[in-house]
Amino acid sequence: MTAGTCSASPATNGFPDIDMVWTLVLRGLVVGVLAGLLAGAFAFVIGEPLVQDAIDIEEAGSAHASLQFVPAHISEWAVGRDEQRGGLFLATGLYGLAIGGVFGAIFATLLGRGRERSPYQLATRLAGALFLAIVLVPFLKYPANPPAVGNPDTIGDRTVYYVVLLVGSALAMLAAARVAWSVPEDAVPWKRPLLAGGTFVLLAGLLFVALPGVSEIPGDFPAQLIWEFRLSSLGTQAVLWAALGIGYGIASYRAAMPSAAAQRA
Amino acid sequence: MDPISTQQPIPVRDLLPALLLMTFLLLAVYLVQFDNGAISQSGSFLHELMHDGRHLLGVPCH
C-alpha cells in the first residue's frame, strides 16, 4: 500500500484503514511541527521583546508589589536568556508536534462521520473549533501573563484551574458537535448553528462562572505591557492553529479523499 | 469535488491505537514543557529552556 493513498473501503488488501490512520496522523505531526515553528517565529518577533521588558521590570523589582515572590526567578536559573529565546522554538515546535498528532488522530476519527463537504473543510473547521475550545475559552478566563506576574505559591492551583477549564471546554465542544450532527440535513439553516452554538456557550459558560478567578497582577505593573503581551500570546496561538488547519487541510487533501485509492488503482 | 459523505468512517478499532498514542504524546509534552511542578516535580533544564514558550503559549506560569 502506497503511503498517502488510503481508502476506508473493506479491508480486502491488508489493512488499508489502519494505514490510512497512520498516514493522517503522520501528516498531523509534520504539519504540527511546521505550524509550531511558524508560531515560534511570530512569538520571537512580536512577543519576545515584551517578555524581556517584563523580566527587566522583575529584575529591577520596582514594579513588583510583593518582592518575596521574585528570588526564585530568572537570574538564578541555569539557562540563560539567549538559550530561552532559542528554547522558544523548541517549545512551540514540540507543542505543535503534539497538537498536530492529536489533530491528525481526531481528523481520522471524524472523517466520514460529520457533515463536512471536503477534507479541507473538515480540517479548517476542526482547527477553528479546537482553537475556540482549548485556547480562546481558557485564555478569556485565565489570560496569559508575562514574567513577573503571578504568585509562585499559587501556580499549582492555577495550573489545575486552567487544565480543568481546558478539558471541560473541549468536552463542551464535543457535546456541541454531537448536537450539530444530530440535526437533520433538511432542517432550517439556523437550527444547527443555534443549537450547537447554544450548547457550547451554555456548558463553557457554566464552567467559566463556576471556576475561581485569579487576580495577581501587581498594582504597579504597566497595564499596557500586560495588554500587549496577552495579544502577542493569543496571536502566537492563532498563528499556530490557523497554520495547522490550513496546512493540514492541504496536506491531507489527497490522502483523505474517498476516491484517492480508486484513482490510483 | 466528491462530497465527503461518500467516505466511509474508519472503524474505531483501527483508530484506537493512534488516538491512545497521540494522547500519551500530548501528556508527555505537557509534562516536559508546561508543568510548573504541580504534577511532575520534574527537573529544571528543559523547564527553564522553554520558559519563554510557556509564557507566550499562554500556560500559567509562576
pLDDT on residue B2: 46
Please report residues of A whose CB lies closer than 8 A to that of B54: 91
Please report residues of B whose CB lies closer than 8 A to that of A26: none
Does the distance separating the beta carbons of B4 and A118 come in below 8 Å? yes
For residue A185, the chain B residue with the least C-alpha distance is B5
User: Predicted ipTM?
Assistant: 0.85
B8 touches chain A (CB under 8 A): yes
- In a 10 Å sphere around its CB, with 0-12 CB exposed, 13-18 middle and 19+ buried, how is residue B12 labelled? exposed
Q: What values do phi and psi take at A80, rounded to 5? A: -75, 170
- How close B44 comes to chain A (CA, Å)? 9
Kindly write down the DSSP assignment for every residue of A220-235, as one continuous string: TS-HHHHHHHHHHHHH
pLDDT on residue A229: 96
Interhelix angle A16-42/B12-29, nearest 10 degrees: 30
A–B CB contacts, 8 A cutoff, strictly below: 207
Per-domain boundaries in chain A? 16-264
Residue A217 CB coordination number (10 Å): 15
Please report residues of A whose CB lies closer than 8 A to that of B35: 159
Cell 508536534 locates to A97
State chain A's mean pLDDT as an integer.
Answer: 87
Look at chain A and count its residues. Answer: 265
Whole-number Å distance between alpha carbons of B53 and A235: 13
Suggest the residue from A9, A18, A121 to mutate for an interface test with chain B (most B CBs closer than 10 A). Answer: A18
Please report residues of A whose CB lies closer than 8 A to that of B60: 142, 145, 150, 155, 158-159, 161-162
Please report residues of B whose CB lies closer than 8 A to that of A125: none
- In a 10 Å sphere around its CB, with 0-12 CB exposed, 13-18 middle and 19+ buried, how is residue A154 labelled? middle
CA A192 vs. chain centroid, Å, equals 25
For residue B41, give Cα distances in angstroms to A158, A196, A212, B17. Answer: 16, 40, 24, 29
Helix or strand holding residue A28 (H, E): helix A16-42
pTM higher than the cut 0.80: yes
CB proximity under 8 Å: B 15-34 to A = 15, 17-19, 21-23, 25-26, 28-30, 32-33
Angle A157-A202-A126 from CA coordinates, rounded to 5°:
85
Does the distance separating the beta carbons of A84 and B51 come in below 8 Å? yes
In the predicted model, is pLDDT for residue A207 greater than 70? yes
In the predicted model, is pLDDT for residue B45 greater than 70? yes
In the predicted model, is pLDDT for residue B51 greater than 60? yes
> Which is nearest to A131 in space by CA: A24, A229, A123?
A123
pLDDT top residue among B51 and A256: B51
- How close B41 comes to chain A (CA, Å)? 11
pLDDT on residue A74: 61
In the predicted model, is pLDDT for residue A251 greater than 50? yes
User: A32 with A101: CB under 8 angstroms?
Assistant: yes
* Residue pLDDT, tens place only, B23-44: 999 888 887 777 765 555 556 7
pLDDT on residue A200: 98
pLDDT on residue A215: 87
Confidence at A73, pLDDT banded by 50, 70, 90 = low
Alpha-carbon torsion A133, A135, A136, A141, what sign? Answer: positive
Which amino acid is residue A89, in one-letter code?
Answer: F
In the predicted model, is pLDDT for residue A154 greater than 70? yes
Average pLDDT over every residue of A222-236: 96
Whole-number Å distance between alpha carbons of A131 and A16: 31
pLDDT top residue among A165 and A2: A165
